[in-house]
A and B are shown apart, each in its own frame.
Chain A
Amino acid sequence: MSFHPPLATSRSMTGIPTGRLAVWWIIASEIVIFGGLIASYLLFRLHYSEWAEYASHTNTVAGAVNTFVLLTSSLFIVLAHQAAIEKNKEKAFRFIWFTIGGGGVFLLVKAYEYTTEIAHGYTLFANNFWGFYYLATGLHGLHVIAGMIIMGIISFDVKKGVKLERVEYIGVYWHFVDIVWLFLFPLFYIAK
């Protein structure tokens, strides 16, 4: 089925391309999803002093590695964006796949972390700290997976030089996922 974008898509009354505007609104709606979750967690964390003890069982090294990985992948996607502006298709393609690789490493570390924690008996049911831990990191992990899939799809268009502006849109989303992790890291791994 052939699909032709409507004229509406090409209009830009605000001066921001429609795709980027939509990504900003998506991020605003994501802020409230993660915000609600983090606010609930934080309240429980402050209320129950014993949660500090639970938090000491999270793997800080793994969390730190993941922070580093995500920061680096953020750099890669912004370099891909820069390459896309310079119409350097090959370079943009390469950096998108570096970013996807970063996401993959992140998920592997996460999988290792989950495995060891579950092996130690810290499952979703252990107590509410672990409930929130799995919920928040799991939701964040889903966002990482979604971002990787979208990047995988657009990378081949980018290689052909089609719709290069999408690199920027996915980049903005990816940085947001990074920022969420920047807050989850101290919340679950550092503050003890």
Chain B
Amino acid sequence: MNKEQTHSHPNYVKIYFILLGLFVVSIVGPLIGIKWVTLITAFGIALVKAVMVGAYFMHLNIEKRFIRYILYTALLFMILLFAGLAPDILKSEGNNWVNVSTVNTATIDQH
């Protein structure tokens, strides 16, 4: 019943060592001290690792396609939540308006 019986299963140990290699890169990256390198090595590699774990360990690569769409949908809704919240929390000034509450918060925070 498991599809792995028909597919030759991937070499899990090999994937594990690739993941470890990526893990080392994500640790070493921030030591260089350049901000964008840190961001790429930290989050880019986290993403790559997550995709690899998902694809090979969770067998999403051979799972029915709609499972992937379900998970993408859940992720998309979270991006939507982020996008909806972002202008509210990150932006406190516009052309003709100022979000007074955030300005007050900032001044309170300073002391």
Contact = CB atoms under 8 A, between A and B. Distances in A.
A156 to B, nearest CB: 22
**Taking chain A's interface residues, is the majority helix, strand, or loop, or is none over half, making it mixed?**
helix
B53 A179 contact: yes
B34 interface: no
A7 B20 CA distance: 44
A14 interface: yes
Of the listed residues B4, B19, B73, the one surrounded by the most CB atoms of chain A closer than 10 A to its CB is B19
B57 A74 contact: yes
A44 B106 CA distance: 12
Interface in A41-76: 42-44, 46-48, 50, 60, 64, 67-68, 71-72, 74-75
A47 B70 contact: no
Contact of A31 (B9, B23, B66, B74): B74
Given A47-B90, A186-B43, A190-B26, A71 B50 contact: no
Task: Give 9 nearest A-B pairs by CB, closest first.
Answer: A35-B78, A186-B42, A31-B74, A39-B82, A190-B42, A75-B16, A28-B74, A43-B89, A179-B50
Contact of A172 (B38, B58, B78): B58
Contact of B30 (A32, A48, A190): A190
Contacts of B19: 71
Given A14-B64, A35-B78, A175-B53, A43 B2 contact: no
Contact of A183 (B13, B50, B64): B50
Given A25-B70, A75-B12, A16 B64 contact: yes
Contacts of A85: 2, 4-5, 9
Interface residues of B, number: 45
Interface in B48-99: 49-50, 53-54, 57-59, 63-64, 66-67, 70-71, 73-75, 77-78, 81-82, 85-86, 89-90
Contacts of B63: 16
Interface centre among B9, B53, B86 (most CB of A within 10 A): B53
A171 interface: yes
B103 interface: no
Contacts of A171: 57-58
Interface string A150-191: 000000000000000100100110011011001101100011
A191 B45 CA distance: 13
Contacts of A39: 78, 81-82, 85
A179 B71 contact: no
Interface in A68-118: 68, 71-72, 74-75, 78-79, 82, 85
Contacts of A38: 78
B89 A47 contact: yes
